[in-house]
């Protein structure tokens, strides 16, 4: 019987810092992001409290370069990607591991001007702006408006 698995992650949140673009030894590039996504939980009093969850995200190639150019700390972003687990050994022989998200598509959710609704941001009733979709498929990137 064939075995199949699914590794998909969809996140919507805000950047906690400016994107960091780095060159790879292969000649490509990777943009490192950290995003915060809130989750609501019911507390003992019956009310709701919000807890932030933080995720490290990597965006490769031309998509990462676009993200680095147009996004800043506080920008709203939608991520569609997959989890990537890695492990390594430090210089003092300690084993470390981490899980991060490798983005296949990045949706810019703020307006191109980056303003708030009070500053003339043109958003629809659902609060979403006319953002860009940056995708990375087999080394190709795609930009839609």
* Residues 73/17, Cβ–Cβ less than 8 Å: yes
Mean pLDDT to the nearest integer, 13-33: 96
> What are the residues facing 67 on neighbouring strands?
none
DSSP string, 92-122: TS-EEEEEEEEEEEEEE-S-TT---TTTT--
Instruction: Give the tokens for residue 66.
Output: 């676009």
Q: What is the pLDDT of residues 63-112, one digit of tens each?
A: 999 999 999 999 999 999 999 999 999 999 999 999 999 999 999 998 87
Indicate the burial class of 112 (C-beta count within 10 angstroms; 0-12, 13-18, 19 or more): middle
Query: Locate tokens 């939980």: which residue?
Result: 41
Please list, in sequence order, all residues whose beta carbon lies within 8 angstroms of the beta carbon of residue 47, skipping any fewer than 6 positions away.
Answer: none
Mean pLDDT to the nearest integer, 20-27: 95
Q: What is the pLDDT of residues 29-52, one digit of tens each?
A: 999 999 999 999 888 888 999 999
Fold of 9-123+132-144: OB fold (Dihydrolipoamide Acetyltransferase, E2P) (2.40.50)
Q: What is the value of pTM for the model shown?
A: 0.72
Q: Which of 31, 6, 9 is nearest to 19 (CA)?
A: 31
Mean pLDDT to the nearest integer, 8-34: 96
């Amino acid at each position: 019987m064939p075995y199949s698995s699914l590794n998909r992650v969809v996140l919507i949140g805000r950047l906690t810092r400016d994107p960091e673009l780095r060159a790879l030894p292969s000649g490509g590039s990777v943009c490192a992001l950290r995003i915060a996504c809130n989750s609501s939980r019911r507390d003992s009093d019956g009310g709701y409290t919000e807890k932030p969850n933080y995720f490290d995200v990597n965006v490769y190639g031309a998509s990462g370069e676009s993200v680095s150019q147009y996004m800043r700390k506080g920008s709203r972003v939608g991520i569609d990607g997959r989890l990537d687990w890695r492990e390594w050994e430090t210089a003092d022989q300690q084993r470390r591991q981490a899980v991060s998200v490798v983005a296949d598509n990045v949706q810019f959710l703020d307006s191109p001007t980056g303003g708030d609704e009070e500053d003339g941001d043109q958003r629809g009733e659902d609060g979403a702006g006319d953002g860009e979709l940056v995708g990375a498929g087999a080394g190709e990137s795609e930009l839609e408006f």
